[in-house]
Structure 1
Amino acid sequence: MHPFRAAIESRDVEAALALLHEDVVFRSPVVYTPYRGRFAVAPILRAVIEVFEDFEYTHELSDAPSHALLFKARVGDKHLEGCDFLHAGPDGQIAEFTVMIRPLKGIQALATAMQSRLT
């Protein structure tokens, strides 16, 4: 099990953040421009762990140094599926973190819920 998965499943955001490289590049499913740096990603992870209900990783694929963590969750009455794509740098920390989510209604519900927590 990838340590990021273990941290998120135990709702330990600080442990998850510690796995991110200081200059991690985070690509959100709802924002065009990537976020850069652990400091920028921290409030997003803290908010999403509150927004996602019934969150569960369902599969884990690995081809080191890259990992894909498939998940399902709910935001209000909208169910969604997604994947966290993680790519580690030479130091082993997560240097790139991309999230993809489907369907569109799920992404829209996520964007609305996140906006209220991050503004």
Structure 2
Amino acid sequence: MPLVPPVHPFREAVENGDMDAVAALLADDVVFTSPVAFKPYPGKAITAAILRAVSQVFEDFAYVREIANPDGRDHAFVFTATVAGKRLQGCDFLHFDEDGKIDEFTVMVRPLSAAQALSEAMGARFEQIAQEAAAAR
């Protein structure tokens, strides 16, 4: 019988919709790199706000694969979701610092039409995201 590895705390928090637990896993100096924005977003407050908004934009979200570096500091979480009727595939690339907190969070998505739908949906919420981040500081 194959061994089933335990569910990673990040994946468990996302799958349970527990965005407070996701935020607790972020380092204060985390850098979030969006699949649709040119410039990375530095800091826990803005990253947590972006992730909360994404959790509201994605429909039918599911992780389908997890790939981990043996040292446990790098993980890739492959997912599927729907945005505005467009089915997408994506991957969350996470790096964990020496304290086990996420200090790099990079997201990639495909196809282009789904990335564009994601960009539009997130762009419509960006004022709310910025306000939430400012209030959390």
State the TM-score, normalized to the length of structure 1: 0.97
Deviation at residue 43 of structure 1 after TM alignment: 1.5
Deviating above 6 A after TM superposition, structure 1's stretches of 4 or more consecutive aligned residues are none
Quote the RMSD (CA, aligned, Å): 0.7
CA contact (8 A) 1:43 1:118 kept: no
2:118 is aligned to 110
Measure the CA separation in 2 of the matches of 1:106 and 1:6.
25
- Residue 24 (str. 1) matches residue 41 (str. 2): no
Mapped pair 1:84 → 2:96: no
Runs of at least 5 residues in structure 2 that lack an aligned partner in the other structure: 1-6, 128-137
1:37 aligns with 2:55: no
Shift of 1:34: 0.7
Judging by fraction of residues, say which structure has more strand.
1
**Where do 1:34-73 residues align within 5 Å?**
34-63=40-69, 64-73=72-81
SS where residue 29 of structure 1 aligns?
coil
Size of the aligned set, in residue pairs, is 119
Larger Rg: 2
Q: SS of 2:113's equivalent?
A: helix
Cα distance, 1:14 vs structure 2: 0.7
Paired amino acid for 2:33: R
> Structure 1: how far apart are the matches of 2:56 and 2:18?
12
Q: Which digits, 9 at most, give the CA deviation of each residue in 1:58-108, with x for residues without a partner?
A: 000100210000000000210000000010011111110000000000000
Residues 52, 73 of structure 1: 8 Å contact kept:
yes
Q: For structure 1, list consecutive stretches of 5 or more residues without a partner in the other structure.
A: none
SS at 1:41 equivalent: helix
